[in-house]
Amino acid sequence: MQHTQLTARNYGSFASLIVVLGFATTGVGAVDLAMIAPKGVQHVAAVGQGDLLVTGVLAFFLGVVESFSSRLALAEGERTTAQRLPVLAGALLVMVVLCQLLAFGVAAFSEPALTLLGQKGDIVPLIGDYVSTRMLGAAFVVLYYGLNEALKICGARNMSLVVLLVGLGLNAVLDWAFLYTGGQAWFASPESAVAASTVAAQLVMVVLAGWMFAVRMRARGQRWARPSRRAVTEEFLGQLRTGPGVGARHLNDYAGSVVPVMFIGATDVQVLAAALVATKIYTLFCRFPQACFEATFVFYGYSLGRADTDHAATVRTLRRYAAAPTALAAVLAIVALPWEVDLFAGEGLDHGLAQLFFLAYMLYLPAYFFEQMLGRMLTVHRKGGLLFTASTTLTYLVTIPLAWVSVFVFHSVFLAIASKGVATVALAYIYWRAFRTATRSPAEVRVA
């Protein structure tokens, strides 16, 4: 199949689409905040805080989907998708049920947890409304993630963009209908209304993506057989061993980024504002290397699915394909940094400080590149336990303590940001050793 061949054109096309999808995805939260803004600053704060919590939970669930999509990429490269997909899908559906049960637990304990953490009492119920409603639709999110990955892996990448754009438009329309028409009477609070519009849009996206994927498979002339219970059980156990570990790694990455910013929040307001602007610019920049890592993840899976591929040469090619656009994006981001700060700066912002903090993020970019790329390839090898153990240990014993010491002992925000590079370098080394072990012999490669 042409789309599974590792060429510069295929890789570039895939990565470019991921960049577009990444920027479009940020529009969901932006639309919600923009639509609820006329209701008052308290509601904006509640939705913003609630979205942070939901993002963390969904980052964990994403690991489940990556375990599924890595196996699908292997099957697509091996040209056994028609035989393997029913088994993979059956196992994923069981994982979806477990994710939804976990989401119910998050919804039940969100308000007590917020109160325990010292959140202001008047905003806790509003955040709870948002989180609880979003968690009711957690299964839709996981299903959408899975179908979206299936569309991209099976050669229907453009369809995934269509689904996302439809969802964004529908979300905006439902936000307006639920907040500013008679529909607002259906909800206990504006937060519930905004969250419900997102859940409804995600349900439509699941249906649309499922229909598009079925059309794609029929066009390929592929028919699916009913999977055996034993095969589904074995695949489910494999996903259960890998998915939570990969998801925990995502959650640790999220915590390692958010918690230091919370420490910085205890400093001067102007310093915090500069740090937030730098973080925003860095987050947008990361869309480009992250798109390359996603493309590497998929094409590496394709490669392992083909027995006649020189896997070492494939890894070198993938590294080269990912490094070039990452380096170019980094150079452009640094050159354009003054204008980027101007774009996000408010009145009174220290532009020089914001630029300095952005450069602190860029100090460990080479280590970040290898850590992320190797981590994605280890996911294909089902090394979820290693990803969980290494990222958890270094996040909570190195990244967060170093950030705390930097802010409260050395009073240096620059050091708080740059110190994350210590854990990043360590993770890159650990993943490199694990990857060498996982690819040392052809037999071990085929286990993947």
**pLDDT per residue as tens digits for the range 278-321:** 988 999 999 999 999 999 999 999 999 887 678 889 999 999 99
The token pair that represents 383 in the structure block:
């090394």
Residue spans of the chain under pLDDT 50: 443, 445-448
CA 261, distance to chain mean position in Å, is 19
Rounded to two decimals, what is the model's pTM?
Answer: 0.90
Per residue in 373-408, pLDDT (tens digit) is: 999 999 999 999 999 999 999 999 999 999 999 999
Return the CA Rg of the chain: 22
pLDDT of residue 2: 80
Burial class (CB in 10 A: 0-12, 13-18, 19+), 347: exposed
Q: Is 79 helix (H, G, I), strand (E, B) or coil?
A: coil
Determine how many CB atoms are found less than 10 A away from the CB of residue 192.
Answer: 20
Q: Which residue has the tokens 């993506």?
A: 209
Please name the helix (run of DSSP H) or strand (run of DSSP E) that holds residue 432, with its range, or none.
helix 420-438
Chain centre to alpha carbon of residue 321: 21
Report residue 199 as tokens: 């859940």
Q: Where are the alpha helices (DSSP H) in 265-383?
A: 269-305, 311-335, 337-344, 351-362, 365-380
| pLDDT value of position 443 | 47
Q: Where are the beta strands (DSSP E) in 177-288?
A: none
Q: CA 201 to CA 195: how far, in whole Å?
A: 10
Query: What is the per-residue pLDDT for 441?
Result: 57
In this predicted structure, what is the pLDDT of residue 442?
A: 52
In three-state secondary structure terms, 429 is: helix
| Predicted local distance difference test score (pLDDT) of residue 220 | 80
